[in-house]
Amino acid sequence: MHTLLVAFVIAGAYLIGSLSGSLLLARAFGQADPRTLGSGNAGATNALRTGGRGFGGAVLVFDLVKGMVAGGLLPLIAGVSPAVALACGAAAVIGHVYPVFFGFRGGKGAATLIGVLLVLLPGALLVGFAVWVTTLVASGFVGLATMLGMLAVALAVLVAPAATVAAKWFVVAMTVVIVYTHRENIRRMRAGNENRFARAMLRRRR
């Protein structure tokens, strides 16, 4: 029964992750399918760039909350172990990237992962956030900031004496996922045509 419960909880987390904020909220904000605009990604960054701050902010909050629900609230209600909670968090991120409700074409998983980290590994998230902000201000590249921020999260967990084996496996796997989903950003940066978030850059403000 416990194995069946674990399977149901992880599957439920995946389904929660599959609820794409940008695709569900697009009609309410009078927006077209974000996958047909901008970078073609169903995530908060593309929603911000193509639909404005209201749409982008709503998508960000939606995807953050679903990560918190899938990685925190759902495992708590089910009474499963912390290791299973991490598995639920990973399932939610995969659901966001490959949503069953939207033809398996979703976002890059960053906002959902942040929600998961917020409830399961908040200390490591603070380290990652500091790196994310520093990178964004210095470079203007959101994708690069996200990848380096997740790498910082992983390193913080890997060197933490109290971190569990499950937590270490989780952050390594999620780092691989984030780098993979940002492969087009890497390609564009190498080609020199990646978009910058200029308003966040310190030298542009000066």
Map out the domains of the chain as residue ranges.
1-117, 121-206
| The pLDDT value given to residue 79 | 94
The per-residue pLDDT for 48 is 83
- What is the end-to-end Cα distance of the chain in Å, rounded? 61
pLDDT at 92 over 90: yes
Mean pLDDT within 45-54: 85
Q: In 44-67, which positions are buried (b, 16+ CB within 10 angstroms) versus exposed (e)? A: bbbbbbbbeeebbebbbebbbbbb
Q: What is the largest CA-CA distance in the chain?
A: 61
Q: 25 and 82 in contact (C-beta within 8 Å)?
A: no
Instruction: Look at phi and psi of residue 103 and say left if phi exceeds 0, alpha if psi is from -120 to 50, else beta.
Output: left
- % of the chain exceeding 70 in pLDDT: 95
Task: Kindly tell me if the per-residue pLDDT of 4 is higher than 50.
Answer: yes
The more confident residue out of 38 and 57 is 57
List, for residues 171-187, the tens digit of each pLDDT value.
Answer: 999 999 999 999 999 99
Q: What pLDDT is stored for residue 203 in this prediction?
A: 53
State residue 41's pLDDT score: 82
**At 55, which amino acid appears?**
F
Q: Given this model, what pLDDT does residue 206 score?
A: 46
Average pLDDT over residues 63-81: 96
Q: What is the mean pLDDT of residues 125-141?
A: 95
Position 204 confidence tier, pLDDT thresholds 50, 70, 90:
low
